[in-house]
Chains A and B, each alone.
Chain A
Amino acid sequence: MRSLILAVLLACFGLHAQCDTVAQIATAHAADIAKPSRQSIGPVIADLAASGDPMAAKLLEAWGNKALGQRKADKAFFLLAPDPAGYALTDLTGASAGTAAKSDISELKPNAGVRGLIASALVQFTLSDPDPVRRADALTSIAQDPKAESLAPLRAAIDSETDPALKAQKQRLERLLTLRFDTDPAARIAAIDSFGSDLGLDLRAALNPLLATSRIATQDDGAGLNIARVLHPGRDLTAVEAYDLLVTTGAAPARLTHDDQKKALAAQITDGKVGGIAVADLTDQAARDRAYTALEAAGAVPTAATDDEVTAAIAAHHFYEAYAEPDASVTAAAQAALAKISRVVGAMQVADLTLDGLSLAAIYFLAAIGLAITFGVMGVINMAHGEFITMGAYTGYVVQQIVPGYTASLIVAFPLAFALTFGAGVALERLVIRHLYKRPLETLLATFGISIALQQLFKNIFGTQARPLTSPPWLDGALTLNDVVSISYIRIAIFGLALLFLGFFLYLMNRTRLGLEVRAVTQNPAMAASMGINPDRINMLTFGLGSGIAGIAGVAIGLFAKVTSELGTDYIVQSFMTVVVGGVGNIWGALAGATMIGGFQKAIEWLNPSNTLAAQTYMILFIILFIQFRPRGIIALKGRAAGD
């Protein structure tokens, strides 16, 4: 610590004639401080940091936290703290300066770039600060903006570190800085090797710049360059690229483009002719070339690079890809380390993609599971199913408006969403679907009518704008295995919910009286009725159940996506596809369908990362083709259960 202060003082006396107080510096640079730009504020921050004034750190900290203000009347700077009267002011000597109304003070809001500079300047004060939070902040700041100058203070701060986690972090950071900025190649290579096949993004971020290359064309053999590879024109780079490289380095004249040619010709029109060719005949490229050649011969236009000249120029040069890093042993070590890492990263990316696919499958499954009951088991096609999902999501939103606390509101919202959509489902079954059991196409149209009516009703009630449905804090963030594989907790929760429903469904259908009756009624209502089962009641309950599950799914989906009146519409076609592809009448089918659709969609996205829209189109085409080969879905019911 003492050496640090000494260094600061030395810098202070070494670089400047006299060492000003913070207040003096601030007054001298008032305009810059009030409207800072990252590109010009550096020296001011350095002056402040080097001033040796104990207020420097406080001022910088306040400035970085947007707690520095300027009094409008006299442009004086103050540290601000909230106060009932507006702000409590502290002047730059550290003395309290009373309070001021909010309107008298303009708050200074340095941008993130300037805040980054301030944070780096604060590093020297906070790297050994007693408060571990500040020490951690200092480390974050160094990690975000690694600089050679940070290496020495960081090394000095390692031994005194008491917190084991921070110590480990400091050591890792020290190695990362060493491999980039140390002057001794051996130390750098040792630092590189010490990481092994570590997956950290920060490590790759440190290694990759060492391997940054640029293309170089020289007439000699490239001595003195740290050459990554030799480029052979025609094989490693096209002749056009090679020539363009020569043009950009100024080693060769530019080629003649068609546009330039046309302009040159237009400038040379005399008596309706150019180079002896009538203007009206210049309607094809060959004629223009002839005209230009004639003008070239006459010396009227500059000679442009012909193909022969291009070939000669390329042949006269050597082309290299050269590292910016001059030391070959370092680049070799970095390359070896990165090769090792990239193998692991590749495997991890596949794992990450698999997780993404599974998570998407879980979402599709959750959206489709209610449908697997109403459509799959009962055979009722309910186009308003999507609106039941929306209804669930809006229930979640309304509950969050009333019940304080995100966790408590969710606990209320799930059963309430179930109850509401169960009720809506029962009403729909009683009023509409019951009359249409033998007429599936009419059911489709009637429920579609319900769907647009409900959708418009939601718009009338909640507006077309998305409504917030916020997940509780314990579902924030992501489970991060390493810097490649991570999945957000909310998706894990949805995955868990999907599994829970799967278990519930299996239990219900196979282990309960209701399940038995449902299966009996769907297979043969007349026979079931003669056994004393009331098919009306069973149909009503089953439909309500399917709808209720949709409501719960709606709350879950609303937590990670948007809550709008069109939420359900986005999932309805996909949900029907899930059930149809998987195989009607079987929950495992819906699961298989969801897994397949989710997995394939992610796979297509992976193959074509820049266009997500195409993935959906290809997915649907795939489904249409798939149904050709397995018209009854992946898991088809066999025998009598399959019905007709």
Chain B
Amino acid sequence: MKLTRRMLLTGGAAAFVAPLLTRPVFASEETIKIGVLHSLSGTMAISETTLKDTMLMLIDAQNAKGGVLGKKLEAVVVDPASDWPLFAEKARELLTVDKVAVMFGCWTSVSRKSVLPVIEELNGLLFYPVQYEGEESSKNVFYTGAAPNQQAIPATDYYLNELGIQKFALLGTDYVYPRTTNNILEAYLISKGIAKEDIFVNYTPFGHSDWSKIVSDVVALGADGKKVGVLSTINGDANIGFYKELAAAGVKADTLPVCAFSVGEEELSGLDTSNLVGHLAAWNYFESADTAENKAWIDQWHAYTKNDKRTTNDPMEAHYIGFNMWVNAVTAAGTVDVDAVSDAMIGQKFPNLTGTVAEMLPNHHLTKPVLIGEIRADGQFDIISQTDPVPGDAWTDYLPESAVLESDWKDLKCGMYNKETKTCVQLKSNY
């Protein structure tokens, strides 16, 4: 259960120091400020703290190279404490009080939706590094994580084509990412000729622990002779109980594969994976990727954290790409002005860590290769499939109301453009 601590955290951090005094300026020379908006406490801290460290490492490395535009970069780290209203408040503070040039942050969709109205109002810039449900394209956000067509759809194709799955169990935690992703997948599967009766959908609360009934329901799906596969959007801690129950029920990957979209190297460290060998995960990056860039990245990370055991993961790669693209865009634009940088961002290319090149598209999404990994006994993944980079799609083609929409911030200057009526539906995002 996620408990908010909003009651305790209502106030801005400026409560006792900031309002009457302008913030003390420590640096004598002028710097470019970069806001880091990741939770350092609360339920999301475990995932987001890693990203904060990643950002600090990237900024340090860039400063060692001489900064950007001849100025040093300065990180402004705030703690929204896994509390959604606080994300909006901290974002406003970063933009109005600290006057940051760009922000890197957020993890959950609801935190991004909380920040959206603020950055659109104040014309800020946010890099969002986590895989998400799509159906959004804001002028002020660059989405460096995967859209559904860069993770869920290719994984489903893998199930259909490579494993010959005929019956799908879509299990998810009851919130927006699984809901939207599963809606898209359902429409996609039906378009691929899977009957609606052959798609079993179940939602469970955050942190759910009693999985016996659901696992036995899924096993029973095999009764009609069709090959069953699970696509799991189960989030966070709940996965532990789920995988333990799978192992206890003797569900083997050969007979009933489970492909997860939210389970990476870090989540697996809370588990004994020897019973889970062969189950799958789909990401755009795995630590086990065999490239020189990845090796250098992992070494840099281990050196920075002074810990050889720290794993790397997909959102970290997203920040790596996003940050470097931003640096290049600022250099190209010659200014940190949000509009100029946004224009320069589109079309930026940067090598990713898995051997291909990421490109920022006019819809503010990246091209990303889709990797499918099988869980190994040591908690890492065997990469068994890697596609060419897939362009991210802000509006899915598989839901009728989204299929007509398109996002293009380069020529159309619109995030929600109706291709049929040839009009811009709206400039601001839905939240």
Contacts and interface: CB of A to CB of B under 8 A. Distances in A.
A binds B: yes
Nearest to A601: B210
B205 A612 contact: yes
B224 A209 contact: yes
Given A112-B374, A486-B249, A360 B162 contact: no
B75 interface: no
Contacts of A111: 158, 162-163, 372, 374, 384-385
B241 interface: yes
A95 interface: no
B222 A561 contact: no
A561 B209 contact: yes
Interface stretch (A18-26, A163-171, A461-469, A509-517): A461-469
Contacts of A206: 225
A288 interface: no
B36 interface: no
Contacts of A612: 202-205, 208, 214
A425 B428 CA distance: 55
B275 interface: yes
Contacts of A487: 212
B210 to A, nearest CB: 6
Contacts of A465: 46, 266, 269-270
Interface string B218-245: 0110111110000000000110110011
Interface stretch (A76-84, A470-478, A577-585): A470-478
Interface stretch (B23-31, B251-259, B332-340): B251-259
Contacts of B226: 205, 209
A123 interface: no
Interface string B184-212: 00000000000000000111110111101
Contact-residue size bin, chain B (C-beta under 8 Å from the other chain): 35 or more
Given A112-B163, A477-B250, A484-B220, A353 B384 contact: no
B225 A466 contact: no
A560 B163 contact: no
B383 interface: yes
A124 interface: no
Nearest to B241: A561
A611 B43 CA distance: 23
B145 interface: no
B223 A204 contact: yes
Nearest to B273: A468
A616 B210 CA distance: 12
A111 B241 CA distance: 26
A613 interface: yes
Contacts of A464: 42-43, 45-46
Interface in A558-603: 560-564, 566, 569-570, 602
Interface string A469-512: 01000001110100010111111000000000000000000000
B257 A205 contact: no
Interface string A609-630: 1111100100000000000000
Nearest to B420: A263
Contact of A562 (B158, B237, B250): B237
B204 A205 contact: no
Interface string A78-113: 000000000000000000000000000010011111
B164 A616 contact: no
B248 A488 contact: yes
A39 B159 CA distance: 12
B384 A569 contact: no
A112 B254 contact: yes
A116 interface: yes
A526 interface: no
A97 B190 CA distance: 51
B162 A114 contact: yes
Contact of A356 (B161, B213, B238, B385): B213
A489 B244 CA distance: 12
Nearest to B240: A562
Given A201-B223, A609-B217, A613-B174, A112 B253 contact: yes
Given A201-B222, A201-B223, A478-B249, A468 B271 contact: yes
B212 A491 contact: yes
Contact of A476 (B224, B275, B290): B275
A342 B188 CA distance: 32
A476 B275 CA distance: 9
A383 B281 CA distance: 39
A58 B309 CA distance: 37
Contacts of A109: 374, 382-384
A359 interface: yes
A116 B227 CA distance: 12
Contact of B204 (A37, A113, A613): A613
Task: Give 5 closest A-B pairs by Cβ, nearest first.
Answer: A466-B270, A488-B248, A208-B224, A113-B162, A205-B225
23 contacts: A38-B161, A113-B163, A114-B162, A140-B254, A201-B222, A205-B223, A206-B225, A208-B223, A209-B225, A209-B226, A352-B216, A356-B213, A464-B42, A464-B45, A465-B266, A480-B250, A486-B216, A488-B212, A560-B245, A562-B240, A566-B207, A606-B213, A612-B214
Interface of B: 1, 3, 42-43, 45-46, 158, 161-164, 174, 201-205, 207-210, 212-214, 216-217, 219-220, 222-226, 237-238, 240-241, 244-245, 247-250, 253-255, 257, 266, 269-272, 275, 278, 290, 372, 374, 382-385, 420
